């Protein structure tokens, strides 16, 4: 790759990678904003029926929050130079993330068993859609992380991305629980 730093007096913190990530977060925000606004509009129709909420979703949400916390711990340990703590908490965060994805798929099975399929009602259509889009963002993050996490900067960016997806999930989860 061709080195490309020319600029006048940018602090080291603002790297192309960081700028690229924040731009991507803006793109992802637009995707979820479009989904949420479509959800809210479609909710207004008379055929909308509230969906049963598997208790599992609460567990999944807790797991995702802990995984975000573990990754933040890893990031802080890495900054402090504590490599062992960083590695342990990173692995914990990654395992919890995988567990969250697994839990989400399980929630799909639970709903499926209750007779709520993709095309049963707009509420179930949206549930499968938003959880799938969110899950794919997580999965993509994990795959990119697996390939690039050895670089310290990339690792920092990965953790930022993860927090973003945790916040997005909290918003989506609130919407799902309330409707």
Partner 1 sequence: MSHHDHHQSFWTRYIFSQDHKVIAIQYTVTALFIGLVGLVLSWLMRLQLGFPGEFRFLNPGSYYQILTQHGMIMIVYLLTAILLGGFGNYLIPLMIGARDMAFPFLNMLSYWVYLLSVIVLVAAFFVPGGPTGAGWTLYPPLSALPNAAPGSGWGIKLMLVSLVIFIASATMGGLNYVTTVLQCRTKGMTLMRMPLSVWGIFIGAAMALLAFPALFVGGVMLLLDNLLGTSFFIPAVTLFGQQLPREGGNPLLFQHLFWYFGHPEVYVVILPAMGIASELIATHSRKPIFGYKAMVIAMAAIAVIGFLVWAHHMFVSGMNPYFGFFFAVSTLIIAIPSAVKVYNWLLTLWRGKIQFNTPMLFGIGWISTFIIGGLTGLPLGNVIADVPLHDTYFVVGHFHLVMGVAALMAIFGGIYHWFPKVTGRMFNETLGKLHFWVTFVGAYMIFFPMFLLGILGVPRRYFDFEALQYLPTQTAGLNIVITIAALIVGAAQVVFLVNLIWSAVRGRRAESNPWHATTLEWQTPTTPPPHGNWGAETPTVYRWAYDYSVPGAERDFIPQNVPATPTVPAGTARTV
- Total count of residues recorded for the chain: 179
Distance of closest approach, residue 19 Cβ to partner 1, in angstroms: 5
Q: Which listed residue (11, 12, 13, 46) binds partner 1 by CB under 8 A? A: 46
Please give the Cα distance from 80 to 94 (Å, whole number): 20
- Provide, rounded to whole angstroms, the least separation between the CB of residue 48 and partner 1: 7
Q: Is 12 in the site for partner 1 (CB under 8 A)?
A: no
Identify which of 141, 136, 126, 139 has the alpha carbon closest to the alpha carbon of residue 173. 126
Q: Does 20 bind partner 1 (CB under 8 A)?
A: yes
Decide if residue 3 touches partner 1 (CB under 8 A): yes
Helices (DSSP H) in the chain: which residue ranges? 16-43, 56-80, 83-113, 122-148, 152-178
Q: How many residues bind partner 1 (CB under 8 A)?
A: 37
Interface residues with partner 1 (CB under 8 A)?
1-8, 10, 14-16, 19-20, 23-24, 26-28, 30-31, 33-35, 38, 41-42, 45-48, 118-119, 122, 125, 129, 133
């Amino acid at each position: 790759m061709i080195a490309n730093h020319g600029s006048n007096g940018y602090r080291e913190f603002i790297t192309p990678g960081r700028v690229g990530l924040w731009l991507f977060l803006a793109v992802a925000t637009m995707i979820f904003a479009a989904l949420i606004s479509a959800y809210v509009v479609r909710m207004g129709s008379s055929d909308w029926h509230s969906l049963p909420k598997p208790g599992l979703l609460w567990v999944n949400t807790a797991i995702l929050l802990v995984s975000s916390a573990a990754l933040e711990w890893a990031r802080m340990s890495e900054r402090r130079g504590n490599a062992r703590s960083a590695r342990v908490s990173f692995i914990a965060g990654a395992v919890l993330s995988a567990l969250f994805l697994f839990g989400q798929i399980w929630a799909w099975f639970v709903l499926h068993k209750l007779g709520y399929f993709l095309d049963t009602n707009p509420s179930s259509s949206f549930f499968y859609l938003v959880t799938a889009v969110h899950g794919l963002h997580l999965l993509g993050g994990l795959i990119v992380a697996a390939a690039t996490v050895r670089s310290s900067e990339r690792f920092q960016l990965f953790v930022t991305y993860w927090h973003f997806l945790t916040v997005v999930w909290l918003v989506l989860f609130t919407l799902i629980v309330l409707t």
